[in-house]
Amino acid sequence: MRTVFIRHGLTAGNLEKRYIGRTDEPLCNEGETALRELTPEPCDVLVCSPMKRCIQTAERIYPAQTITLCDDLRECDFGDFEGKNYKELSDNPDYQRWVDSGGGMQFPNGESPADFRQRCAAAFEMIVRKYAASGSIAFVVHGGTIMSVLEKYAVPHGDYYSWHCENGHGYICLWDGTSLSVKEKI
């Protein structure tokens, strides 16, 4: 099955390098403009996170397509770091502990990275099983969601951060039922 992953377009929080997880931000003007330049990858099924930024991105890239929402594809809950950037957090001892952990420790009053990655992978598995008869699925989701799914299933294998992509970009893969062969970065 051809599987396309697209990270949502830019938001104001993205421009300011903020941790934007549960905050339901819309696309900013720069994000809207950049999406006009994208050529949509064809798909039979369109799935996206329920967050505004993902829905707006999906509507702009695939205006005639029906969107299927999946709550478990939403971004990580960054807890106390939500809405802040690294400069604002630089004197925060909890933030320093999180950085020192290599990003593996639970966000204070938020989600653990391990739970987030497991949630995203389980949602992906459920969706590809549900639409197994389809020829292609496009996922319009968050950067962290893409990195979580590809870390678990991508061939060639890469760690979580190796799958980072810019807003409005992503990957084209082939799903064989057990792994995602990464064909192209878009």
pLDDT per position as a tens digit, 140-160: 999 999 999 999 999 999 999
Place of tokens 């971004």: 75
The CATH code of domain 2-77+112-185 reads: 3.40.50.1240
Q: State residue 6's pLDDT score.
A: 98
Half-sphere exposure of 86 (CA within 13 A, CB side): 7
Q: What is the mean pLDDT of residues 38-48?
A: 93
Entry pTM = 0.95
Burial bucket for residue 117 (CB in 10 Å: 0-12, 13-18, 19+): buried
| Phi/psi at 6 (5° precision) | -125, 125
pLDDT band at 138 (very low <50, low <70, confident <90, very high): very high
Q: State residue 123's pLDDT score.
A: 98
H-only helix segments in 62-160? 86-89, 93-100, 113-130, 143-153
pLDDT per position as a tens digit, 159-184: 999 999 999 999 999 999 999 999 99
